[in-house]
Amino acid sequence: MNATSFEKTRLNTLQRPSAEEIESAVQDALSATQCVDMHTHLYPAAFGKIGLWGIDELLTYHYLEAEFFRHSDLTPEKYWTLSKRDQADAIWKTLFVENTPVSEATRGVVAVLKAFDLPTEAPDLSEARKFFVAQSPEAHINNVLRMAGVSTVVMTNDPLDPEEMPVWMKGVESDARFQPVLRLDRILRDWSDPWEQLAGLGYKVDNRASAMCVAEIRRFLSDWCRRMRPIYMAVSLPDTFEFPADTPQGILFREAVLPACREFGLPLSLMIGVRRQVNPRIRLAGDAVGRADLRSLERLCQKYPENRFLVSVLSRENQHELCVYARKFNNIMPFGCWWFLNNPSMVEEITRERIEMLGTSFIPQHSDARVLEQLIYKWRNTRRTLAPILAASYRTLIEDGRDVTRQEIRRDVEKFLRSNFERWIGREFSAS
């Protein structure tokens, strides 16, 4: 063998990991790739107190509140009278001291504490509080993004939220790491509520979705697209979502939202399957899940091939159908394992199924983080769950007769963690 062909063979072996080396090659790619987190409820420091961070917020996350009420005798009514600090103390004592924190959401808090070298078995939160109080929001955000391996987080921005609207109206300075999304839940879900608010803002709307009202909602959406520069529009929908529907919401969806998305070249994110407030006593923790009839999605994609949809379904039973629809309509981009599905067992099942049916053409996960530091554990968990799934796919491929190179692994991981989303919205974000 001459020197050049020897070098080629050596390079080839280096580039094509053996079946045994695959998992570590996948892990390397996952840890080297900065994520674009395409759906969160996080905000930059300039948004002030609507951006949640710190130990008391981590502990009063509604995923933990739901678990707290299972273990505690405290009634929700009594719990809501407590200060945030007292609520956090009660949750710490109940879920972390008196019980072993083995659930996904409780383990998450443990992982965050550990990441900051804080005690994970302390009887109280004093040391953790001391640490978080000492952080400056700006530096802390930089630190958390770095620790989480996330370059860009996509926000959820509701222009009708009384706390958020003034932030936008006063012209908040944009931060490229936090990308805006125009959230339409108030308009599309609870139409009885916002029409008076919109009328108060000078839009000539009514509660019947008349032609004038449709035009005015389009004006509202245009105004907010110009003000906010969102990268997509989004709505969460119940399991009973129907398309087409001749309700005021159905008319606004069809005649105002879909055309506005087309006009501004924005995808629409549909998060389908939430049953809001089945137990209002526990507030944000009181939402549940229901299986949706995805024929509505079928009709939507058939009728509007020029609209692009990011789609996440909350019910486990809808996952397979979503994959099938994504094979029929290339204007669907399935994304994430949302909310009650964001547990390793569910993520594993759903991701394997998606790879088998869609190859690399989907977005495996978003964090849905509500509290900044959750990025650390949610993305760590996602990387940990994805590694063996991807490795198993490559090993099967090798067994079937096709090697994969490290470059290909890096390309696939890059697609999953950032570029499938970037391509869908037609924007590239800086990864540094």
DSSP states along 162-219:
TTTHHHHHTTPPP-TTEE--EE-HHHHT-TTTHHHHHHHTT----TT--HHHHHHHHH
Taking the C-alpha atoms of residue 120 and residue 157, their distance in angstroms, rounded to an integer, is 34
Least Å from the CB of residue 157 to ligand RAT? 12
Least Å from the CB of residue 276 to Zn ion? 13
If contact means CB under 5 to 8 A according to the sort of partner, which of ligand RAT, Zn ion, none does residue 370 touch?
Answer: ligand RAT
Q: Taking a C-beta distance cutoff of 8 angstroms, is the pair 106, 96 a contact? A: yes
Least Å from the CB of residue 39 to Zn ion? 6
If contact means CB under 5 to 8 A according to the sort of partner, which of Zn ion, ligand RAT, none does residue 116 touch?
Answer: none
Measured from the CB atom, the residue of 63 and 203 that comes closer to Zn ion is: 63
Q: Which two tokens stand for residue 79?
A: 């719990």
DSSP state of 97: I
Measured from the CB atom, the residue of 156 and 318 that comes closer to Zn ion is: 156
Taking the C-alpha atoms of residue 168 and residue 403, their distance in angstroms, rounded to an integer, is 51
Q: Taking a C-beta distance cutoff of 8 angstroms, is the pair 271, 41 a contact? A: no
Residue in the structure block whose two tokens are 């009328």: 199
Q: Which two tokens stand for residue 329?
A: 């309509």
Measured from the CB atom, the residue of 296 and 374 that comes closer to ligand RAT is: 374
**Among residue numbers 3 through 62, which ones bind ligand RAT (CB under 6 A)?**
41
If contact means CB under 5 to 8 A according to the sort of partner, which of Zn ion, ligand RAT, none does residue 383 touch?
Answer: none
Measured from the CB atom, the residue of 276 and 410 that comes closer to ligand RAT is: 276
DSSP state of 244: S
- List 104, 368, 373, 412, residue binding ligand RAT (CB under 6 A): 368
If contact means CB under 5 to 8 A according to the sort of partner, which of ligand RAT, Zn ion, none does residue 354 touch?
Answer: none
* Residues 351-390, mask of contacts with Zn ion (x by CB under 5 A): -----------------x----------------------
Least Å from the CB of residue 255 to Zn ion? 26
Q: Taking a C-beta distance cutoff of 8 angstroms, is the pair 85, 59 a contact? A: no
Q: Taking a C-beta distance cutoff of 8 angstroms, is the pair 132, 54 a contact? A: yes
- List 168, 264, 329, 339, residue binding ligand RAT (CB under 6 A): 339
Least Å from the CB of residue 372 to ligand RAT? 14
3-state SS assignment for residue 343: coil
Residues near 143 by Cβ (< 8 Å), separated by ≥ 6?
135
Number of residues that bind ligand RAT (CB under 6 A): 7
| CA triple 394-36-159, angle to 5 deg | 145
Least Å from the CB of residue 163 to ligand RAT? 16
- List 189, 254, 370, 415, residue binding ligand RAT (CB under 6 A): 370
Measured from the CB atom, the residue of 62 and 177 that comes closer to ligand RAT is: 62
The answer for 332, left when phi > 0, alpha when psi is -120 to 50, beta otherwise, is beta
Least Å from the CB of residue 254 to Zn ion? 24
Task: Supply the angle between the helices 22-32 and 406-414 in degrees, to the nearest 10.
Answer: 40
If contact means CB under 5 to 8 A according to the sort of partner, which of Zn ion, ligand RAT, none does residue 381 touch?
Answer: none
| CA triple 144-149-152, angle to 5 deg | 80
Q: Exposed, middle or buried by CB within 10 Å (0-12, 13-18, 19+), for 250?
A: middle
Measured from the CB atom, the residue of 368 and 412 that comes closer to Zn ion is: 368
Measured from the CB atom, the residue of 168 and 339 that comes closer to ligand RAT is: 339
Q: Write the single-letter amino acid at 365.
A: Q
Measured from the CB atom, the residue of 48 and 238 that comes closer to ligand RAT is: 238
Least Å from the CB of residue 39 to ligand RAT? 7
Q: Select from 177, 263, 270 the least CA-distant residue to 224.
A: 263
Least Å from the CB of residue 339 to ligand RAT? 4
Measured from the CB atom, the residue of 41 and 218 that comes closer to ligand RAT is: 41
Binding site for Zn ion (CB under 5 A): 368
Binding site for ligand RAT (CB under 6 A): 41, 156, 236, 271, 339, 368, 370
